[in-house]
Amino acid sequence: MGFSSLCLTFVSMYILSIFVLFHLVVANSLQSYTTACHDDEISALLQFKQSFVINTSASGYKGAYPKTASWNSAWNQTSNCCSWDGVECDENTGHVIGLNLSSSYLYGFINPNNSLFRLVHLQSLNLADNDFNYSQVPTSIRNFPKLRYLNLSCSVFSGVVPFEISQLSELSSLDLSENPDLTGYFPKFNASSSPLMSLKLSFTSFLINLSSLIEDFDSLKELHVSECNISESPLPFSLGNLRHLTYLDLSSNNFNGQIPSFLKNLTQLTYLSLFGNNFHGSIPSYLGNLTQLTYLDLYDDNNLSGTVEFHMFHKLQNLTYLDLSENKLEVLTKSRFLNNATALPKFEYLRLGWCDIREFPNFLRSQQTLQTLDLSGNKLQGIVPKWMLNTSTQTLTKLNISHNSLSGFEQSPAVVPWVNLRWLDLSFNMLRELSPSPSTSILYYAISNNKLTGQVSSLICNLTYLAYLDLSNNKLSGILPQCFGNFSTMKYLNLGKKFI
Ligand SMILES: *[C@@H]1O[C@H](CO)[C@@H](O)[C@H](O)[C@H]1NC(C)=O
Ligand SMILES: *[C@@H]1O[C@H](CO)[C@@H](O)[C@H](O)[C@H]1NC(C)=O
Ligand SMILES: *[C@@H]1O[C@H](CO)[C@@H](O)[C@H](O)[C@H]1NC(C)=O
Ligand SMILES: *[C@@H]1O[C@H](CO)[C@@H](O)[C@H](O)[C@H]1NC(C)=O
Ligand SMILES: *[C@@H]1O[C@H](CO)[C@@H](O)[C@H](O)[C@H]1NC(C)=O
Ligand SMILES: *[C@@H]1O[C@H](CO)[C@@H](O)[C@H](O)[C@H]1NC(C)=O
Ligand SMILES: *[C@@H]1O[C@H](CO)[C@@H](O)[C@H](O)[C@H]1NC(C)=O
Ligand SMILES: *[C@@H]1O[C@H](CO)[C@@H](O)[C@H](O)[C@H]1NC(C)=O
Ligand SMILES: *[C@@H]1O[C@H](CO)[C@@H](O)[C@H](O)[C@H]1NC(C)=O
Ligand SMILES: *[C@@H]1O[C@H](CO)[C@@H](O)[C@H](O)[C@H]1NC(C)=O
Ligand SMILES: *[C@@H]1O[C@H](CO)[C@@H](O)[C@H](O)[C@H]1NC(C)=O
Ligand SMILES: *[C@@H]1O[C@H](CO)[C@@H](O)[C@H](O)[C@H]1NC(C)=O
């Protein structure tokens, strides 16, 4: 596996960042600098540039390019480093205060004596998504007493993070995530004087002895500690004093025990992800009091059990993302409170897979903003009710009702009503008819392991974007429509034995 594959976040941000890049370029060319930059800083930047090779394997993000390549080494009186790509100067003093060389194909060691550390006025430093070849984070970081923003994510650092980083008394945002070889104890910050607001340590290997570090961090708003190699253990810290916390990601760590009760105190939370742990017990009712939540993920690998009155989420009026899938929960959706359309959040992403649900939840009637709906692995039986076909007709892109006991649609139109549907999984049911047909927008269509009989309708020829089609384990027969030879987009096709 190449290193760049670890940095998937960059790839998915590609489109957005093209847009951002465009704006940066425009903004840069309009800016004129009255103050020239200082000679010593120009030479520090040029020496920094010389200390690395440009290596296109060093950055994973598709919009990466070598920002330092345009830095002009034939500098003279009129060349101004303040207009160089990624360099920001103070307008009054001309000192370099910002350096953003994220995704710049930089490859090589960064030593404590690197000329970078002569840029003592830096307030912002972004070296994310490069390859520093397992360098240690240099102790000379202490040369930047004014640093507020430091981003070294996904750039192949290793070893212990130096104590000096905790002495940066202005630091408010620190991102060391996606450096899996960072190890050891994370240095202790002074919680009462540090202005740290955002701490991102996801996908590192720090022994999370964060307890003493973060417990009293009044200023902290964002904490990302996903995939930190924590082996099975109860949560080693309480965050109940972090009253300003808005973003908490503890996912994929193997924490066990109950869902931590300190969450009760975190009433400002908008984002809470606990997925991929091994939490036991029931979903505590106080989660229903965290009224600012927009995102709540309790998916997978957790062993949560007991019954959940879906009505418990009615106070979370801003909740758009909810995932309770793949636990051992019994989700009850028949409460009379749920008949009141105004009483539930407007979901965009709702996953209730394997939740022991026995009927299509009535509250879905009034959900008109769903993009993803997952009801797979439940105990739905009989027909898909007519009203389901009026739910989120404009917005739904992904529907999964596989692994139930559905036998058909109450009123089967020729084509499903979800005009933007891309993903439809109906497999492992008891469907008898290959109808309704997915809308033409479909990319993924699975209806294997049902009781389909008869011929494949030529309507399937209208699905011109289809990339994945699984019709296997049915009783289809007859002649395939001719178009099957012409699907140019198809990547996976399984028609079952009868046809082959
Ligand atoms: C480019 O970087 C990769 C690691 O990211 C390394 O394996 C490779 O040897 C480098 N190539 C050159 C020419 O330095
Ligand atoms: C200074 O460098 C710029 C390019 O950065 C070049 O266009 C200009 O001619 C140079 N001026 C002198 C006096 O050499
Ligand atoms: C750094 O530059 C990248 C483009 O290369 C941009 O997307 C990002 O927003 C910039 N970050 C900061 C903190 O300026
Ligand atoms: C990267 O590290 C390897 C192993 O220590 C070394 O052989 C290689 O020269 C280094 N490459 C650069 C560009 O620093
Ligand atoms: C910088 O430090 C490295 C080792 O840390 C050393 O090999 C190199 O000679 C030093 N360079 C300068 C210019 O002092
Ligand atoms: C650090 O940089 C990466 C890559 O540009 C970006 O995805 C991430 O959001 C940045 N972190 C912070 C805290 O800005
Ligand atoms: C932490 O900061 C406070 C306030 O500035 C100061 O009084 C205290 O001595 C510091 N503690 C340590 C251990 O440096
Ligand atoms: C919740 O906050 C109170 C202070 O308001 C504190 O005494 C208590 O210990 C906190 N609870 C937890 C579980 O941290
Ligand atoms: C939720 O908040 C209400 C009103 O503030 C309070 O009465 C109730 O006890 C809280 N429920 C839980 C489970 O904390
Ligand atoms: C929902 O979000 C809006 C805008 O961000 C905010 O004003 C409102 O207070 C939030 N609602 C609740 C119930 O927290
Ligand atoms: C529906 O819920 C809203 C908000 O919770 C409430 O104001 C309204 O009275 C309820 N309507 C009925 C018929 O229960
Ligand atoms: C399928 O495509 C044909 C020809 O392009 C068109 O006449 C027909 O209306 C389409 N059927 C549906 C259900 O979209």
pTM to 2 decimals? 0.88
> Mean pLDDT lowest for which of 155-159, 162-166, 285-289, 482-486?
482-486
* Total Cβ atoms within 10 A of residue 80: 19
Instruction: Tell me if 285 CB under 6 Å of ligand 10.
Output: no
| 337-377 pLDDT per residue, tens | 777 767 789 999 999 999 999 999 999 999 999 999 999 99
Instruction: Tell me if 111 CB under 6 Å of ligand 5.
Output: yes
At 11 the pLDDT is: 42
φ, ψ for residue 408 (rounded to 5)?
Answer: 170, -170
pLDDT at residue 474 greater than cutoff 70: yes
Instruction: Tell me if 103 CB under 6 Å of ligand 3.
Output: yes
Instruction: Tell me if 435 CB under 6 Å of ligand 12.
Output: no
Highest mean pLDDT among 171-175, 187-191, 431-435: 171-175
Residue 381: closest CA among 355, 358, 352: 358
At 31 the pLDDT is: 46
Closest listed ligand to the CA of 216: 8
Q: Give the separation between CA 471 and CA 411, rounded to whole angstroms.
A: 22
Element (H, E) at 400: strand 398-400
pLDDT at residue 32 greater than cutoff 60: no
Ligand 7 centroid vs 162 CA: distance in angstroms? 19
314 pLDDT tier (thresholds 50, 70, 90)? very high
- Average pLDDT rounded to a whole number, residues 465-488: 86
Q: Give the separation between CA 268 and CA 247, rounded to whole angstroms.
A: 9
Ligand 9 centroid vs 262 CA: distance in angstroms? 14
Tokens, residue 438 = 């997915």
Q: Give the separation between CA 483 and CA 276, rounded to whole angstroms.
A: 43
Tokens, residue 67 = 């920002």
What is the overall mean pLDDT for the chain? 88
Long-range contacts, stretch 234-239, CB < 8 angstroms, 24+ apart: 235/260, 236/208, 236/209, 236/210, 236/211, 237/208, 237/210, 237/211, 238/211, 238/262, 239/214, 239/215, 239/266
pLDDT at residue 20 greater than cutoff 60: no
Ligand 5 centroid vs 116 CA: distance in angstroms? 13
At 79 the pLDDT is: 65
265 pLDDT tier (thresholds 50, 70, 90)? very high
Distances from the Cα of 386 to the Cα of 22, 408, 410, 412, 413, angstroms:
47, 11, 5, 8, 10
Residue 229: closest CA among 201, 188, 189: 201
Residue 486 contacts by C-beta under 8 Å, 6 or more apart in sequence? none
Closest listed ligand to the CA of 458: 12
- Average pLDDT rounded to a whole number, residues 409-421: 92
Instruction: Tell me if 34 CB under 6 Å of ligand 11.
Output: no
* Total Cβ atoms within 10 A of residue 354: 20
Give the residue, by CA position, lying nearest to ligand 8 atom 13.
Answer: 262
19 pLDDT tier (thresholds 50, 70, 90)? very low
Give the residue, by CA position, lying nearest to ligand 9 atom 12.
Answer: 286
Q: List the domain boundaries for the chain.
A: 231-354
Query: Cis peptide leading into 112, omega within 30 of 0?
Result: no
pLDDT at residue 21 greater than cutoff 60: no
Residue 57 CA, chain-centre distance (Å), reads 23
Phi-psi region of 311 (alpha: psi -120 to 50; beta: other; left: phi over 0): alpha
| 419-444 pLDDT per residue, tens | 999 999 999 999 999 889 999 999 99
27 pLDDT tier (thresholds 50, 70, 90)? very low
Query: Domain spanning 231-354 has what CATH number?
Result: 3.80.10.10
